Structure 1
């Protein structure tokens, strides 16, 4: 994966290059020659992964590219992390498996996945999950396994679809329920907080307070 810190870069190959907004390029694993041409001096961030690092739950199907990549607000922080790693003096970098090395690998995979984009069917899973959450959030039985069963897919598929969007099931459910609680309080100022919590799906006032603290970091 190549990130151009500016404009003026072209990437050409017999391989099927994935290019986004003239700044982000992914070359699928292979042996084809790749040519980089810059019309002016430009800083590049280069991330190299072989196909063994893109298997299992990290599998990316380069033949089924998403309609678009993740937004700049998602990609830029990942690139900034890669650049910060490159600035570390070599004698200070742990060799072999290490927490830093594992984090670097995860960021590299996340970058490639974000640039390639998600196939339509995975986006459909995300949208289907959110429809159920928005419809059934008041139910105390709403859970990731329950949603997976309703959609006829595995819990891992649901997790993967949410993770690809940078979120989790619990985060999305909490956000929807907090918004519902806020709207209930706004429309019904005299409604007891315990009733608000129950109607919004939290069950108890204490659970509502915990969700609020977690969201606002208090």
Structure 2
């Protein structure tokens, strides 16, 4: 496939902020599998420890990061290629492949399959099995969407990235930005204390403290 055709096809899928209806469902399912709700910790460690990634809107952090930090920049065309939709489609394809192989250990949730897609319909443990297919090159790269089509190195890079982004988004200040979290960084404001900070006992960034660091001198002699 030539660059011109590749570029035209990519532009076609950039019309809306989220061009694929299932993009958000896929990333919600992904972060819920990585950092699930743990109600069993409430009694021993307090209710704050039971919160999962969905409580902190970590899925939105993944989408925002893929579309801004990891987006492909076509220099000659001055155009950004957002990755969230393509990554979501790739995970859905991997999930379908897992089901086709009979690799899922838990029955799929057929009630949400048509609306939310194959990846979200898998049990959390089976979602990791679908990702493993991509990591171990067991999926046919030729059926993956652009820009992952026949590009194993980029597939692996994005798979690793979205896993790390789930952890980063959960334990950083993202959840504390509240209604401003989807703004550009310079417009965000901390509206409340982030969940991840509460869980690990982080007091927040220091604004500095007064301390004696010596005296000014005009001349120094040994």
TM-score class, shorter-chain normalisation, is: under 0.3
Q: Name the structure, 1 or 2, with higher relative contact order (CA <8 Å, separation 6+).
A: 2
Higher helix share: 2
